[in-house]
Amino acid sequence: MPTSQVDAVLSGLARVRDWQEPFYRDLHRNPELSHQERRTAAEVAEKLRGFGYQVHDGVGGTGVVGVLSNGAGPVVLLRADMDALPVREATGLDYASTVRATDADGNEVPVMHACGHDVHVATLLGAAELLAEGRGHWAGTVVALFQPAEETSDGARAMVDDGLAQLIPKVDVALAQHVLPAPAGHVGVRTGALLSAADSMRVTVHGRGAHGSMPQAAVDPVVLAAMIVVRLQTVVSREVAPGESAVLTVGSIAAGSKSNVIPDHAVLQLNLRTYSEQTRTSMLAAIRRIVIAECQASGSPKEPEFELFDRFPLTENDADATARVSSAFTAFFGERCRQMPQQTASEDFSEIPAALGAPYTYWGIGGIDPVLHREAVECGRVDADIPVNHSATFAPVVQPTLDTGTQALVVAAMPWLAPER
């Protein structure tokens, strides 16, 4: 890919910055929960129409898709997620969110862009405008996709189920990025498994209630739940190969309401992170086996109940697509392009290219002030001093984060849109 073509498309970055930075601050100040991204979606659709894109809105509820055709050539899909989290912001920024909203369960909650999806929206809009203005330097079709409800793991599937494939041309490659607690200005790439698959499971075990003074008349589900928790610690340590990464967490146990009453059931909530379908399947089977066996050992009067929810697919980058993007990033960013370590976070982006039959690659961009990050590294205090995604204090610096994210999307797309001849 000739560097001159990339530079030509990116030549309008300074002008994009004039609207992009205030747009980002406004978006950060006005976050919206999953499936409630109506204001965000309306502003995205308006921007895309102004750039000359054919716009489909209301896809999967609040999703927006912009299509820009520019002659014969590959179709490149660029994706950003739009939703925020039920977190009370504590950044102290002058554009911090004070929004409160009603969640899906009817509870009033604070709302914050604590995961950086506002960065993703602003940078994809910036890239969309640059590509529209730079049509003389590439050929093909750009699909700018703004996805709702990533945080609840069902936004990508909602867009697919709502007929996404029928709204756009056949996609040749899908590209996406995420802002991370790394130095701003840097990008990170990785071939193969990058983000873990995630499964949450709700397990209900049954006992027989009784007075706390008469345990002989009971089957105590609290003790049963405790034994399950202890035994589950052996799944990763004894049933997963040493070279395979996996995490199994029991995040919640609920049972009983009074100190002298043995309850009749307990509910455990588990979270599982894996990097291969084989490990995922075997660990889910191990959980069921252990729970059932402990219930039998305790004399549980009823079979346990299992409910899977909040399931995220594995994000596994295509080797060829990642190699092309990595080469382009190295040429453009130089030493600021790094190898990205595997992340135990999870995403639903891969459901879109899987449904469209397209290869994909997903990369990270830094969002932390480089000086602050370097000082934290030198002091050995990265975990203590650098806020991470979903934290109430997570706030990417505006620049160079927005510039880098915008550049990365354009640079990644151009090997398909303007390949070397």
CATH number of the CATH domain containing 241: 3.30.70.360
CATH number of the CATH domain containing 106: 3.40.630.10
Binding site as annotated, residues for Mn(2+)? 115, 117, 151, 178, 373
The pLDDT of residue 4 is: 87
pLDDT higher than 90, residue 24: yes
pLDDT in tens, 12-22: 999 999 999 99
The pLDDT of residue 420 is: 66
Q: Are residues 128 and 26 in the same domain?
A: yes
Q: Are residues 223 and 146 in the same domain?
A: no
The pLDDT of residue 421 is: 55
- The number of folded domains in the chain is 2
Q: Are residues 122 and 143 in the same domain?
A: yes
Q: What is the mean pLDDT of residues 261-274?
A: 97
Q: Are residues 170 and 40 in the same domain?
A: yes
Tell which residue, 335, 416, 419, 406, has the closest CA to residue 177: 406
The whole model's pTM is what?
Answer: 0.92
The pLDDT of residue 2 is: 53
pLDDT in tens, 103-139: 999 999 999 999 999 999 999 999 999 999 999 999 9
Q: Are residues 389 and 293 in the same domain?
A: no
Q: Are residues 227 and 371 in the same domain?
A: no
Q: Are residues 148 and 89 in the same domain?
A: yes
Q: Are residues 211 and 360 in the same domain?
A: no
* Residue-number span of the structural domain to which 213 is assigned: 197-312
Whole-Å CA distances, 210 to 219, 221, 294: 8, 11, 20
Judging by beta carbons within 10 Å of its beta carbon (0-12, 13-18, 19+), is residue 302 exposed, middle or buried?
A: middle
Q: Are residues 158 and 34 in the same domain?
A: yes
Alpha carbons 55 and 218: distance in angstroms, whole number: 62
Q: Are residues 34 and 152 in the same domain?
A: yes
Binding site as annotated, residues? 115, 117, 151, 178, 373
pLDDT in tens, 291-327: 999 999 999 999 999 999 989 999 999 999 999 999 9
Q: Are residues 115 and 260 in the same domain?
A: no
- 397: tokens are 């610096």
pLDDT higher than 80, residue 1: no
Q: Are residues 304 and 329 in the same domain?
A: no
Q: What is the mean pLDDT of residues 144-163?
A: 97
Residue 267: strand, helix, or coil: strand
